[in-house]
Structure 1
Amino acid sequence: MTKTTKHTNNEQELLVKVEGLSKKFCKDLKTSLWYGIKDLITGVRGNKHERLLRPKEFWAVKDISFELKRGECLGLIGHNGAGKSTLLKILNGLINPDAGKATIKGRVGALIELGAGFNPILSGRENIYNNGAILGFTRKEIDGKLEAIIDFAELREFIDMPVQNYSSGMKVRLGFAVAAQMEPDVLIIDEVLAVGDLGFILKCFKRIDTILPHTAIVFVSHNMPMISRICNQVILMEKGLVHYQGENVSRGIDLYYHKFMTNEDSQVVFTDNSIELKKAFVEGVDKINNVYIIPWGSTVNLNFTIKNNSLLKEPYISLAIYDKEQRGIAEVLPVDQDLKIIKNKKEVTFIFLLKNIYLSKGIYNITFSASEDFGFNVYYKIHKAITIKIEHDKQIWTPFLMDSKLINVKYINNEKIIKKNN
C-alpha cells in the first residue's frame, strides 16, 4: 500500500484508490507457517501463488477496486465473515495484500478495533499525543486540539487515568474524539460506534457531518440506517467478493436485507403448553420463501388458528411488528376481543383486519402473543409468526411512509397561492 502526506484544498481530490485488492488466509496455522517459509524461499518480491489458492487457503478479499474523493463516504456492508474488516486492515496498513494495490493520500485516522492504537498503561492524555503523532501531527498541533478532544470525549475527569481502566464505551469516546477532532484526510470507521451510548452516537454523526466535506470516509456498520444517513456509495461484500457496488445506496441495503428473508426455522417460541398457534398466514397474498409480499398502503387480513390444550381463561391476543433491525415499531391491539368461546373449543380461527399498511419498504416480522392481559402472564408467544415484505417504488429508511397530498403552493415573493385539486 502506498501513502502520501501532501494536503491540498481541492475538495474533489482523489484520496483513496484501490486496484484489484486481494488477500488470502490459511485455515490451518501449521500449514500457513509452511506456506510462509516456502514463499520466502521462492523470492522476497512475491511468489507465483499470489493469485492462486493452495490447499486450506481461502480468499478473505478478492479483486476489490474503488476510488474515494474528498467529501465522499463509502459504506462497506455485508454479513460477518464477508471480508470487510480484512479490507479495512489493508487500507490502514496493518496487513499487506497478496495482490493488487491501495494508494491513500494524506493523513489516515482509523477506528478499526476497540482500543486499537492505545497503550493501556498510559493515561488518556498521553494516548492522545501518541495517536496524534501516529497520524502525523506535531506536538504543537496536538496542543491546539487537546481541549476539544477531551471535551468531545466527555472524559475530563478520567483523562489522566490509565486507559486499561477505561470501559469499552470510554475507549470508543476517546478513539473517535482523537480521530475526528484531528480531522485526517481519510477516516476509517469500523463497527466500534455500536458500543457507544445513543447520545454519544448522535454527537459522532454530527461531527461526521461537519468534517465529511473535507475528508474521505470508509464506514463499516451492520446498522443500515446509519449507512443510509452518511454514505453516498456502497459496497456489499459476500465471502470476500463484491456482491454489489455503486452509488445507489438503497439498492445495496435492499440486497443486504434480502439475505434475512429466512424461513420458519428461525422462529422462537415461548409457551406454557396451555395453548398453541397452529396456523398463521395473510389471506389472499402471495408468499415467496415464507415471506408475504404486500404492496404499500394495502389492507390485509391476518389469519390465526389457536389450539386450546388446557386453558380455562380467555386469552388476550396481541401482535407486535418488528423491523429488519429487530426493533419493535408497532403494536396491534384489537379494540374488541371476545374469545371466551376458546374455553369450550379445541380449535379457534380468528382474523385481524390490518388497515392501510403505511410501513416503509422492507421486511417486517409479526410477533403473536396470547396472555392473561396485555403484557401480563404470557401463555404463548412466537416471534416471526408471520413475515411480510412491504413493496414500494421508493426506498425510505424511516419506519413509516405516510400517505399525503399536496393541496397548495405558496410563493413568498408575491403572496400568491396556487391551489391544487384533490
Structure 2
Amino acid sequence: MADTRSTEAVLRWSASPLTRSIATCVGVVLAIAVIGARWQLIAFVAPMLGLLSSIDWQRRPATTSVLGYPGTARCFENEQMQLSAELAEETPVGTLHVCAIPGLQTEVISGDDARTTVSAGAPRWGRYPLRTQVEVVAAGGLLTGTATIDAADLFVFPVAPPQPTGIPRTELPDRLGTHLTRHIGPGVEFADIRPYLPGDQLRTVNWSVSARRGTLHVTERLTDRAADVVVLVDMSAQPAGPATAATERALRGATQVVQTALRNGDRAGIVGLGGSRPRWLGADIGRRQFYRVLDAALGVGSEYLNTAGTLAPRAAIPPGAVVVGFSTMLDTGFALALIDLCKRGHTVVAVDVLEGWPFADSHDPILERMWALQRSAMYRDMKVIGVDVVPWPGGITLDQAMSLVPDRARRSS
C-alpha cells in the first residue's frame, strides 16, 4: 500500500492475567494445606505448579510491528484526517488500541483487535504521532508482551490570517509582477508623456495629445515588478514563560508573509535558524511552494536542505530579496544573521514577536522598565545598521505591524 509506514518496537514481557490467577490459586491452596495440615491439596495444585515452572519455556517474539497508513499525514488546524493502524501479518495474536495524545483529538471510526481507523485533528499546529498500544500473548498464554508504537505522524499546519502583508519599498528585480515601481515600462499606471521616438510601439501613441501638439507623442507607464521574499524564523531555544508563547506566533507570521507573497505572484522561501536542525528552502512560486514552505517549517519531507552555523546560506537568499525575520530578538546569533544579510545588500525587516517582560518568575517594575529601555535602544541600534525592527504586540494583526516599516529605497549590491 502506498505511503505505508511499518514501525517495529521491542516487546516488554510480563506475567499474563492467566498466570496471575493461577499463581493466586496456588498460593491460597498451599496456605490452606500448610495451615490445615492437609497434604492432599498439594497433589491438587501440582499440575498448576508444573505449568508455572514452564514459564521460561514459553515461545515469545522479541519485537512486534505496526503498519500505519498514511505514514505521514498533513492537514491544517481544526481539520480532520483519517488515519489507520494495524498489526503486521507476522505479529502473533494480539490487540491494538490508540492511545490519547495531549492536543490530538481522535474519534474511532471502525476497528477490531488487529486494526483501528480513527479521525484525527488538532486545534493547534505541530507534530502529533498516532500512538498505539500493542498487547501480544505468548504461545502458552502465560506471558503478555506490551509495546507503545507511533504508527503514523500527523503534521498540523497553522492557518494564516487572510490579511495581506506589505513589503518595504526597495529595488525589485526586473521581473514582471504586481508591485508598482517608479520604473518606466509595461504597466497600467500613468507616468509621463514624451515625444515619439523611432522604435516606439504604435499602441503607446497618445492620439489626442499628438493631435493637439501637431507631432506624435507616446504615453509612458510605470511598470509592475515581482519581488523575492524570504522569511527567517528563529528556532533557537527560548526561556520559559512569555518568550515561549511568543515563538508560537512566529510561525504564523511567517506563514502569512509567504501566503501573501505567493498570492501576489512573488517568489517566496524560508530559512530556519537556531535549534538543533537549521534548514532552508529556496525561493520559488506557485501554490505548491506554499506547502513546501510549511513542510520546511515543521521539518516534514525531504525537499528542504539542512545547514550548519548561525548565518543564512547565500544560496537560500536570492540577490535583491526582501528578508522578513520573526524572532523574540533574545538570541544574539539571530541578530548577527540579520546584520549579515543587511551587509549583503538585502532589505531586512525584523518582526519582534516578544511582548513585555520575557520571564515568568519575576515582575519587578524597575526591572521591567529597564528592560523596555534596553529594547528601545536595541531597536535604534539595529535601525542604524540597516535592519528595521518593528514590534508585533498581541493586540494587533501582522499587517498593521508591518505598516510601521519605513520606506527604504535601497539598491542591492
Q: TM-score range by the shorter chain?
A: under 0.3
Higher relative contact order (CA 8 A, sep 6+): 1
Structure with greater Cα Rg: 2
